[in-house]
Structure 1
Amino acid sequence: MRVKVMRPIFQPEGNSKFVLYPYWIFHLKLFYKRLGRSDRVLDYYAYVDLYRLGAERGDGFIELYEWDVNENRIMGPIVDYEEAKMKAFESAIHWGNMKIISWWLPRIEIVMDVMAYKVFWVFKRDGEKFVMDSLDGKGFRLKDLTRIERRPTCRRLRCR
């Protein structure tokens, strides 16, 4: 399967595997009308996480590569395009309203949007499995990421 991947910056030394994590990336233009002043146009780059429905602002559109990968290396999104677009708009408006004073919400235009994947490297160090974010280089023990917390059962809380 051929997919777009955000250019990895960090990679662990030695042998490693990877998992691809889904994002929608948006380049938006915000058009603000202002009373008694000239209108303003702002560029906004949103990276929308398709698992947690969070949006991060970027400085630009990250460089993308195309990789041929097996489907079992790809995490499928659980957020659809419309939800991701609305999250990107919400994030852009919030950011823009901190920069521009206007009586109106901005008109938003999508300049470019693409679904791409962030690479997470899976590797072993000292006999233990780790996961590394390819964009910031932070590593986490896999068992810490997959630990399930025990919650009280319904029986103990007398639920109906």
Structure 2
Amino acid sequence: MRHERIDPGHPQQNGRHERFHLTLLEAMRPPPPTKTAQARRFAAFVRDYNDERPHEALGQRPPASAYHSSPRAMPSRLPEPDYPVEAAVRQVRSNGEIKWRGELIHLCSALAGETVAVEETADGQWQVRFFSVPIGIIDQKTSTLRRCASAAPQRTEP
């Protein structure tokens, strides 16, 4: 698996994922009247999507026909990142912020509870990363996080 970041408001950068959301949304319209009915319809969608729907990339076979479970066990929690001793390590608060030089910088609420590294780059900027994934550069004038070139989505041809 590879982590991919897309620009906010640019769903076309991840068309496969967005297309799945559209398919799911269409399958759940109109919304069922109760949670039980919603759960039943969602279970039917999952069964159809995985077990019956042919997939062009799989030679018109359903995805379940190509699935096999991994022999590797999933850890219950990610291992702690091994950041260099010179990195400033910060824990992301429940609201997605870190404290940096007396200021609160919003990173991402999805990282709440995780540790990130803040490291000075060769040109004197401060880059934030989670494990080896660059999150962005701290803009010291505005105390905000902006994307850095190395955090831009990387496209690979199919």
Q: TM-score range by the shorter chain?
A: under 0.3
Q: Which has the higher helix share?
A: 2
TM-score (norm 2): 0.23
TM-score (norm 1): 0.23
